[in-house]
Structure 1
Amino acid sequence: MPVADFGGVARHVSDVVRHGIPGWRVVTMCPPGPLADRLRELGGAVVQVDVGPASGVVSSLRTLRRMIDRLRPTVVHSHLAYADLVCAVGAPRGTRLVSTEHGISGDPSVYHAGVVQQRGRAAAHATRLRRLSTLVAVSESTAQVVRERWSPPASLPIHVVPNGVDPVADPPPADPGLRIGSLSRLAPEKNLQLLLDAFDVLSQTRPEATLAIAGGGPEEAALRRHADALGLGSTVSFEGHVDAEDFLRRIDVVAQLSAWENHSYTLLDAVNYGRGVVATSVGGNPEIVGQASLVGAGSSPGVIAARLESQGLDPAARPVRGPGWQTVGGMCDDLATIYAQVAP
Structure 2
Amino acid sequence: MSPTPPDAGAPRRILHVFRAPVGGLFRHVVDLTRLQAAAGHAVGLVCDATTGGARAEQMLDTLAPMLALGVLRVPMRRNPGPGDLAALRAVARRAEAVGADVLHGHGAKGGAYARLAPVRRVGCGPIRAYTPHGGSYNYRPGSPLHRLYMGVEGLLARRTDVFLFESAYVAGRHRAYVGPGRTVTRIVHNGIDEAEFAPVLRAEDPFDLVYVGELREAKGLPVLLDALAALHAAGRPLRLLMVGSGPDEAALAARAAALGLGTAVAFEPAQPIRPVLARGRVMVVPSFAESLPYVVLEAAAAAQPLVATDVGGIPEIFGDAARDLVPPRDAGALAGAVARLLDAEPAVRDARFRALSESVRARFSMRSMGESVLSGYEAGFRARARAPLPAAGRPGPASA
TM-score (norm 2): 0.76
Deviation digits for residues 278-304 of structure 1 (CA, Å, limit 9, x no counterpart): 1111110101122354101243x3322
Equivalent in the alignment of 1:252: 281
Tell whether the 8 Å contact from 1:278 to 1:307 is kept in structure 2 after alignment.
Answer: yes
Does 2:27 align with 1:11? yes
C-alpha deviation, 1:23, in angstroms = 4.9
3-state SS, counterpart of residue 321 of structure 1:
helix
Equivalent in the alignment of 1:333: 371
C-alpha deviation, 1:36, in angstroms = 5.8
Equivalent in the alignment of 2:151: 123
**Which one of the candidate residues 50, 65, 82 is aligned to 2:109?**
82
**Which one of the candidate residues 137, 140, 155 is aligned to 2:165?**
137
3-state SS, counterpart of residue 260 of structure 1:
coil
- 1:4–1:119 distance in 2 versus 1, CA, 3 Å: closer
Tell whether the 8 Å contact from 2:192 to 2:297 is kept in structure 1 after alignment.
Answer: yes
**Alignment-mate amino acid for residue 19 of structure 1:** L
Equivalent in the alignment of 2:76: 52
**Which one of the candidate residues 247, 260, 285 is aligned to 1:218?**
247
Q: Which runs of 4+ in 1 moved over 6 A?
A: none
- 1:238–1:174 distance in 2 versus 1, CA, 3 Å: closer
C-alpha deviation, 1:173, in angstroms = 5.0
Between 1:177-186 and 1:252-261, the stretch displaced more is: 177-186
Tell whether the 8 Å contact from 1:130 to 1:152 is kept in structure 2 after alignment.
Answer: no
Aligned length: 339
Q: What are the within-5 Å matches in structure 2 for residues 166-245 of structure 1?
A: 166-167=193-194, 168=196, 170-173=198-201, 179-205=208-234, 207=236, 209-245=238-274
Distance across 2 between alignment mates of 1:341 and 1:284: 25
Distance across 1 between alignment mates of 2:290 and 2:300: 16
Deviation digits for residues 236-277 of structure 1 (CA, Å, limit 9, x no counterpart): 212232332211111121111111000001111111121111
Does 2:295 align with 1:271? no
- 1:38–1:64 distance in 2 versus 1, CA, 3 Å: same
Between 1:68-77 and 1:155-164, the stretch displaced more is: 68-77
Structure 2: stretches of 5+ with no match in the other structure:
1-16, 383-400
3-state SS, counterpart of residue 263 of structure 1:
coil
3-state SS, counterpart of residue 280 of structure 2:
coil
3-state SS, counterpart of residue 127 of structure 1:
helix
- 1:121–1:70 distance in 2 versus 1, CA, 3 Å: same
Equivalent in the alignment of 1:162: 189
- 1:122–1:4 distance in 2 versus 1, CA, 3 Å: closer
C-alpha deviation, 1:67, in angstroms = 2.0
Between 1:308-317 and 1:144-153, the stretch displaced more is: 308-317
3-state SS, counterpart of residue 328 of structure 2:
coil
Tell whether the 8 Å contact from 2:165 to 2:187 is kept in structure 1 after alignment.
Answer: yes
**Alignment-mate amino acid for residue 243 of structure 1:** P
3-state SS, counterpart of residue 132 of structure 1:
coil
Larger radius of gyration: 2
- 1:24–1:144 distance in 2 versus 1, CA, 3 Å: same
Does 2:329 align with 1:305? no
Distance across 2 between alignment mates of 1:64 and 1:313: 53
Q: What are the within-5 Å matches in structure 2 for residues 287-306 of structure 1?
A: 287-289=316-318, 290-291=321-322, 293-299=324-330, 301-306=331-336
C-alpha deviation, 1:328, in angstroms = 2.0
**Alignment-mate amino acid for residue 119 of structure 1:** R
**Alignment-mate amino acid for residue 281 of structure 1:** D
Distance across 1 between alignment mates of 2:136 and 2:357: 26
Equivalent in the alignment of 1:320: 357
Tell whether the 8 Å contact from 1:52 to 1:83 is kept in structure 2 after alignment.
Answer: no
Distance across 2 between alignment mates of 1:179 and 1:209: 6
Q: What are the within-5 Å matches in structure 2 for residues 70-109 of structure 1?
A: 70-92=97-119, 94=124, 95-104=126-135, 107-109=138-140
Distance across 1 between alignment mates of 2:281 and 2:28: 25
3-state SS, counterpart of residue 237 of structure 1:
strand
**Alignment-mate amino acid for residue 320 of structure 1:** S
Tell whether the 8 Å contact from 1:178 to 1:208 is kept in structure 2 after alignment.
Answer: no
RMSD: 2.8
C-alpha deviation, 1:159, in angstroms = 0.6
- 1:292–1:233 distance in 2 versus 1, CA, 3 Å: farther
Structure 1: stretches of 5+ with no match in the other structure:
none
**Alignment-mate amino acid for residue 23 of structure 2:** G
Between 1:271-280 and 1:126-135, the stretch displaced more is: 271-280
Tell whether the 8 Å contact from 2:232 to 2:238 is kept in structure 1 after alignment.
Answer: yes
**Which one of the candidate residues 8, 25, 32 is aligned to 2:42?**
25
C-alpha deviation, 1:37, in angstroms = 4.5
C-alpha deviation, 1:204, in angstroms = 4.0
